A and B are shown apart, each in its own frame.
Chain A
Amino acid sequence: MPPIIQIQNLTKKFGNLAAVDHLDLEIEEGEIFGLLGPNGAGKTTAILMLATVIKPTEGTALVGGFDIRKSPDKVRGLLGIAFQEPKMLWVATPWDVVNWHAKVCGLSTEERKRRVKQVLETVDMWEPRHKNVHALSGGMRKRVEMAKVLIQRPKIAIVDEPTTQIDVVGKHKIWNMLLELRDEGSTIILATNELYEADRLSDRVGIMHRGKLLVCDTPKTLKDSILGGDIIDIQLEKDASPTIVEELKSFKEVVDIMQVKPTNLRLYLNRVEEVVPQIMNLLMKKNVPVNSIRMSEPSLDDVFAHYTGLTIEEAQKDEG
């Protein structure tokens, strides 16, 4: 089966700035594809081009076999979007928002009556359905935005940072909704800068930075692809000197070292059990007091750091 989305050389420039820079990507039908990157990486711009909201400067994409440049109306017929910032203006209540959206998407009056109630109950918004949308909390507004996608049941659902500013319980609710939507047959593009969210939900993840797609694979493959299967985080009492960093690098098991903070070092390494005692010996010999040492497995943050040299927080600041 051909991929449901084929992105070819997709580029969007705003003046001299390439918000999306020659993006090539394929998304399979029925998967949750996580588009991971810091704010300003180009995720939203890429999504808006796929949704035919903005036109590409260069390249194109086939969505469900339709070219976004040649058949935008047909492309939009396949898509449903939950925006990063909930879009509500002239309609007053959650019920109005979802009902209006369902009407535009072509649901019959009878079906609307039934489904609006069902969907608002699913997102826990039935009780406050007649509250003014502008009086709702950020989390509630996000849930109303999700309700639009749920009522539409699109072939391809695009969700842009669905759980930003939402509490843990709310996050889990939205994650479950996305998984259910995928299980019902929708393909989902999840744009996020939350690593755990991308890791937990995505069948595959594409990492974007400065408009470019750096790497794309399953979360497990990406994490396994980092040289050095283990990580240790060492917190020193004082700032780590360049000499000590160089000496640590000299261990053949140590693949890479990242100085997360002046006092914090993250070592990517192999055979952790063998090398940790040696590292501790070295630090003691050099009279470098250690506050703590912690072992962990690589996360998508490490994958991001591996490809960009920055943590996602640093990249976020960098873009800001």
Chain B
Amino acid sequence: MRAIWFVSQIALFGLIASRMMSIPNYFQYYVAGLSVMTLYSAAIFIGFDIYEEAEHGVFEYLLSLPVSRKQLVLGRSIGGGLRAFIYVGPLIALSLYVIGATNPLSFLVALFALFLFSFGVSGMSITIAVIIKSSDRFDILMGVLDALIVRLSTAMYPLAVVQAANPLYGGLASFNPVTYAADLFRWGTGIEAIITLSNPLWPLLGIIAFFAFFTFFGVIIYDRRIEGGGWQ
């Protein structure tokens, strides 16, 4: 289903919308952004797994295992991130076919950044899920977050356009992990060179910080909210 959605977005929305845009190579730009958006939505899914585990009492089993809480949360977020990457891998390959990567080394750096981004989103999803403890509220919040994080990023439009629409939006989009991931992916595939990104180090550092924060924060929250006295 995700693949059908992805291909429809490229073949219908991407192709049609790119004809309205004055930005050069907008179609490739959009395809790269769409890959990151899909990766984001796949990685966020781990939060729903948390609710399923709570419902089936699997939490108790996980918490009783002879591993530290740090290993447990890191394992969950890396597992969730990796799963998202595996799901979205074929779609990313399709994007690469459409875009055509130019520099293999840059592309490997970008791919590494996408890995970290995927793990970070997973960690964020786990953290939010254990804070909220309600699958309905989590579902709604994820919808809101998706609207804010993805729309206020450069996934679908260049930063200059966002900035021109509203300087506040531009400011927020500049500090957004989706922006970092999308920019790096484009840089890795050679698109960003013709659009905006001047130094790939900043978005890379941003993604590392995003991943590290939610892994660290996730451990603390998981420990306090789950171990503190059960799920409900």
* Contact surface of A with B, Cβ cutoff 8 Å: 12, 14, 48, 51-55, 73, 76-77, 79, 81, 83, 85, 87-90, 104-106
A165 to B69, alpha carbons, bound, how many Å? 33
Q: Which of A55, A76, A88 contacts B65 (CB 8 A)?
A: A76
Number of cross-chain contacts by CB at 8 Å: 54
Q: Give B53's nearest chain A residue, CB to CB.
A: A89
Contact status A87-B66, CB under 8 Å: no
List chain B residues, Cβ under 8 A from A54: 227-230
B52, B56, B65, B230 interface centre (most CB from chain A within 10 Å) = B65
List chain A residues, Cβ under 8 A from B171: none
Contact status A87-B56, CB under 8 Å: yes
Closest 4 CB pairs of A and B: A87-B61, A53-B63, A77-B66, A51-B64
Contact status B58-A87, CB under 8 Å: yes
Main secondary structure, interface of A, reads: loop
Contact status A76-B60, CB under 8 Å: no
List chain A residues, Cβ under 8 A from B66: 73, 76-77, 79, 104-106
Question: How close is B65's CB to chain A, nearest CB, in angstroms?
Answer: 5
B105 interface residue per 8 A CB criterion: no
Contact status A81-B56, CB under 8 Å: no
B67 interface residue per 8 A CB criterion: yes
Q: How many residues of B contact A (CB 8 A)?
A: 19
Question: How close is A232's CB to chain B, nearest CB, in angstroms?
Answer: 44
List chain B residues, Cβ under 8 A from A76: 64-67
List chain A residues, Cβ under 8 A from B65: 76, 104-105
Contact status A55-B228, CB under 8 Å: yes
List chain A residues, Cβ under 8 A from B103: none
A59 to B229, alpha carbons, bound, how many Å? 15
Q: Give B65's nearest chain A residue, CB to CB.
A: A104
* Contact surface of B with A, Cβ cutoff 8 Å: 49, 52-53, 56-58, 60-61, 63-69, 227-230
Contact status B57-A55, CB under 8 Å: no
Q: Which of B52, B64, B228, B229 contacts A81 (CB 8 A)?
A: B64
A48 to B57, alpha carbons, bound, how many Å? 12
Selected A-B contacts with CB under 8 Å, 20 pairs: A12-B229, A51-B63, A52-B63, A53-B60, A53-B63, A53-B227, A54-B230, A73-B69, A76-B64, A76-B65, A77-B66, A79-B66, A83-B61, A87-B56, A87-B58, A87-B60, A87-B61, A88-B58, A90-B49, A104-B67
Question: How close is B88's CB to chain A, nearest CB, in angstroms?
Answer: 19
CB contact under 8 A between A85 and B63, given known A54-B230, A55-B229, A73-B68: no
List chain A residues, Cβ under 8 A from B60: 48, 53, 83, 87
A115 to B80, alpha carbons, bound, how many Å? 29
A12 to B227, alpha carbons, bound, how many Å? 13
Question: How close is B74's CB to chain A, nearest CB, in angstroms?
Answer: 14
A287 to B187, alpha carbons, bound, how many Å? 101
A13 to B61, alpha carbons, bound, how many Å? 21
Question: How close is B170's CB to chain A, nearest CB, in angstroms?
Answer: 42
Contact status B227-A89, CB under 8 Å: no
A3 to B158, alpha carbons, bound, how many Å? 67
Known: A52-B64, A73-B66, A87-B61; 12 extra A-B contacts, CB below 8 A, are A12-B229, A53-B60, A53-B63, A53-B64, A54-B228, A54-B229, A73-B67, A76-B65, A77-B66, A85-B57, A87-B56, A89-B56
Question: How close is B57's CB to chain A, nearest CB, in angstroms?
Answer: 6
A51, A52, A104 interface centre (most CB from chain B within 10 Å) = A104
List chain A residues, Cβ under 8 A from B52: 89
